[in-house]
């Protein structure tokens, strides 16, 4: 059965690229092998689905040729029965070959869909997959951190420790001792690529791939690095310092390019940091405004008062207007959450709650009776 990448990521076929990314990040965080809930097989499946759907060209090809309901490559009507006509493949149904193809043990010829496209590109000078070497990339890493409410409002510099594969500091990733002579790679004879004969349903074609020994450079070090033993990478603890921006929300992901797992002869993966914000006992965020409640005495509501209040900016003095009503809201400008673009801040909104005393002294009752007589 063909793979349904949309189903793998749990998204609709019309999902935007942002929706594709959000779905991938959520599932990658859940199934990452380093997590307690990790599932290596599932993680590989969602990574494969994301690799296709996050690339516009690959996604177009997948939707056109490889989806579960595509029924084949389609294309033009000419070119003979099952023949190649420059637009399609004469209606031949390739849906059964999606995602890995048939091996020789299945009674067919070993191939995959990417090989076919690469071979066709080579035939017509398109420089398809077989004619290009693509830089490898290390695995991405996903971690969770928890921050205080105040840190989420104003931003914070954080430090985390990761045990991950990093570029060898001794050889700078070259795999050789510093200053060692570089000699011609014997595997590819210095070409950096290896030519191969590949078989597909279209016939036998010549293709090239990057040399695994020299990683496309055509040269290898005479003396291997004594620290990483020629691997160019090593597993170690690394302390990483980064800055979280102001106004960050709980659940947001911060991407640090190149801070994921390193790989010899390729680019390092990325680090994804999911932020969890601890709730505040006094304040909540409403857009770029902060909101809180303040209890005041009945006498302060009637006569007005000046009250000191602890805020995220420290102690401030709040003026309670005389004769304020129950449910009124005070606005303190510029004491809210910073805006992302210009750095200006929202407001602090204070919901006033007038405390009505349950018991009154004899003197207080007499005074309130006098107020009643005055019609208050």
Give the model's pLDDT for residue 216.
79
Range of the domain at 63: 5-131
For residue 358 the two structure tokens come to 């349950």
pLDDT in tens, 145-156: 999 999 999 999
Whether residue 136 is contained in a domain is answered as: no
Could you please report the per-residue DSSP string of 109-156? ----HHHHHHHHHHHTT---GGG-----BPPPEEEEEEE-HHHHHH-E
Q: Are residues 258 and 305 in the same domain?
A: no
Give the model's pLDDT for residue 203.
65
Q: Do 331 and 349 form a contact (C-beta atoms < 8 A)?
A: yes
pLDDT in tens, 228-255: 988 888 888 999 999 999 999 999 999 9
Give the model's pLDDT for residue 201.
59
Number of domains in the chain: 3
Give the residue among 373, 375, 305, 319 at the shortest CA–CA distance from 350.
319
Q: Are residues 108 and 145 in the same domain?
A: no
Whether residue 329 is contained in a domain is answered as: yes
Give the model's pLDDT for residue 75.
37
Q: Are residues 311 and 267 in the same domain?
A: no
Whether residue 366 is contained in a domain is answered as: yes
Q: Are residues 364 and 261 in the same domain?
A: no
Q: Are residues 154 and 99 in the same domain?
A: no
- Provide the pairing of β-strand 329-332 with 348-355: antiparallel
Give the model's pLDDT for residue 90.
36
Q: Are residues 52 and 88 in the same domain?
A: yes
Q: Are residues 213 and 251 in the same domain?
A: yes
* Residues of the chain where predicted confidence (pLDDT) is lower than 50: 67-133
Q: Are residues 333 and 350 in the same domain?
A: yes
Q: Are residues 170 and 203 in the same domain?
A: yes
Domain with residue 57: its CATH number is 1.10.287.110
E strand or H helix that includes residue 210: strand 203-210
pLDDT in tens, 338-351: 987 787 999 999 99
Q: Are residues 176 and 301 in the same domain?
A: no
Give the model's pLDDT for residue 265.
79
Q: Are residues 115 and 151 in the same domain?
A: no
User: By CB neighbour count within 10 A (0-12 exposed, 13-18 middle, 19+ buried), where does 252 fall?
Assistant: middle
Give the model's pLDDT for residue 141.
93
Question: What's the rounded Cα separation, in Å, for the pair 80 and 121?
Answer: 21
Q: Give the domain-ending residue among 100, 131, 162.
A: 131
For residue 168 the two structure tokens come to 């060898």
Question: What's the rounded Cα separation, in Å, for the pair 154 and 246?
Answer: 4
Give the model's pLDDT for residue 376.
65
Q: Are residues 101 and 16 in the same domain?
A: yes
Domain with residue 235: its CATH number is 2.10.230.10
């Amino acid at each position: 059965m063909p793979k349904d990448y949309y189903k793998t990521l749990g998204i609709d076929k019309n999902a935007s690229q942002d929706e594709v990314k959000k779905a991938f990040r959520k599932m990658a965080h859940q199934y990452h092998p380093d997590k307690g809930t990790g599932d290596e097989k599932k993680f590989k499946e969602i990574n494969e689905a994301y690799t296709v759907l996050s690339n516009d060209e690959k996604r177009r090809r997948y939707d056109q040729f490889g989806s579960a309901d595509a029924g084949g490559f389609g294309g033009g009507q000419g070119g003979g029965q099952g023949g190649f006509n420059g637009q399609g493949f004469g209606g031949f149904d390739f849906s059964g070959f999606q995602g890995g193809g048939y091996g020789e043990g299945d009674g067919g010829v070993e191939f995959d869909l990417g090989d076919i496209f690469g071979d066709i590109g080579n035939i017509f000078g398109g420089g398809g997959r077989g004619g290009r070497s693509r830089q490898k990339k290390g695995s991405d890493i996903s971690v969770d951190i928890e921050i205080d409410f105040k840190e989420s409002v104003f931003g914070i510099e954080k430090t985390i420790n990761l045990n991950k594969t990093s570029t060898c500091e001794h050889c700078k990733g070259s795999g050789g001792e510093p200053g060692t002579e570089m000699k011609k790679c014997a595997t590819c004879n210095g070409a950096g690529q290896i030519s191969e004969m590949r078989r597909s349903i279209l016939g036998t074609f010549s293709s090239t791939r990057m040399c695994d020994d020299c990683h496309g450079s055509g040269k290898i070090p005479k003396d291997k690095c004594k620290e990483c033993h020629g691997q160019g990478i090593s597993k170690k603890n690394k302390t990483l310092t980064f800055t979280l921006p102001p106004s960050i929300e709980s659940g947001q992901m911060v991407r640090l390019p190149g801070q994921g797992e390193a790989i010899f002869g390729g680019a390092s993966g990325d680090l994804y940091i999911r932020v969890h914000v601890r709730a505040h006992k006094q304040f909540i965020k409403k857009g770029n405004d902060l909101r809180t409640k303040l209890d005041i005495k009945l006498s302060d509501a009637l006569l007005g008062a000046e009250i000191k209040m602890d805020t995220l900016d420290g102690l401030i003095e709040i003026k309670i207007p005389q004769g304020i009503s129950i449910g009124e809201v005070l606005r303190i400008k510029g004491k809210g959450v910073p805006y992302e673009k210009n750095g200006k801040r929202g407001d602090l909104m204070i919901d006033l709650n007038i405390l009505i005393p349950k018991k009154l002294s004899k003197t207080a009752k007499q005074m309130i009776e006098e107020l009643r007589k005055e019609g208050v």
